[in-house]
């Protein structure tokens, strides 16, 4: 009789362990920090995000620091202080103003890569961003970085799943993801 009670206790403990593992298992999700505002790294980020959207139930991108200007709509303006205006003058004004991380060559490198991309039917950054939006990719913009650089949500692109958030939101998303990336 003692053996049966001991066996029942072991089975109950195993069931509890399995339930705990299920509750803490990663979700079918990719979380990505996008920090670089370089065109080639943004392209890579959105290529990965759109590919992952076909594989995972959820894809979350967290834009911070130098990646944020790529999300700015160049046709939207808001009132800014002097320091924020200086940042705006020094940084790209939307995805069209981004530069290559290497071999920029005074703008020739960007023109060359765009020509090669077109020749090989590779989507532009703008097209990839639209595909990501259509695929349900969520984008969170780091509120602290926006505050430091003088950006406001009102000047960001029209994107269906674009929200501001703090690092805690990214950590919560990444903590429950099957994969996390930093670009």
Q: Give the model's pLDDT for residue 1.
A: 67
Give the CATH fold of the 27-182 domain: Hypothetical Protein Ychn; Chain: A, (3.40.1260)
Q: Give the model's pLDDT for residue 9.
A: 84
Tens digits of per-residue pLDDT, 29-41? 999 999 999 999 9
Kindly report the number of other CB atoms within 10 A of residue 134's CB atom. 11
Q: Give the model's pLDDT for residue 67.
A: 98
Based on the number of CB atoms within 10 Å of its own CB, is 42 exposed (0-12), middle (13-18) or buried (19 or more)? buried
Tens digits of per-residue pLDDT, 84-141? 989 888 999 999 999 999 887 887 889 999 999 999 999 999 999 999 999 999 999 9
Please, what is the average pLDDT of the chain?
93
Q: Give the residue among 95, 92, 101, 155 at the shortest CA–CA distance from 127.
A: 95
Q: Answer yes or no: is pLDDT of 159 > 70.
A: yes
Cα(72)–Cα(37) distance, integer angstroms: 12
Cα(87)–Cα(148) distance, integer angstroms: 10
Q: Give residue limits of the domains in the chain.
A: 27-182
């Amino acid at each position: 009789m003692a053996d049966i009670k001991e066996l029942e206790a072991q089975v109950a403990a195993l069931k509890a362990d399995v339930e705990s593992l299920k509750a803490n298992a990663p979700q079918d999700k990719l979380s990505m920090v996008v920090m670089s505002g370089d065109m080639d790294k943004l392209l890579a980020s959105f290529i990965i995000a759109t590919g992952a959207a076909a594989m995972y139930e959820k894809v979350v991108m967290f834009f911070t620091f130098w990646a944020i200007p790529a999300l700015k709509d160049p046709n939207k303006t808001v009132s800014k202080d002097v320091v924020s205006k200086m940042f705006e003058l020094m940084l790209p004004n939307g995805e069209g103003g981004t530069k290559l991380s290497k071999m920029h060559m005074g703008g020739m490198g960007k023109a060359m890569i765009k020509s090669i991309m077109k020749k090989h039917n590779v989507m532009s950054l703008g097209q990839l961003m639209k595909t990501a939006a259509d695929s349900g990719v969520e984008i969170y913009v780091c509120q602290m970085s926006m505050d430091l650089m003088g950006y406001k949500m009102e000047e960001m692109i029209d994107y269906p799943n674009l929200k501001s958030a703090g690092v805690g939101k990214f950590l919560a998303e990444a903590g429950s993801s099957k994969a996390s990336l930093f670009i």
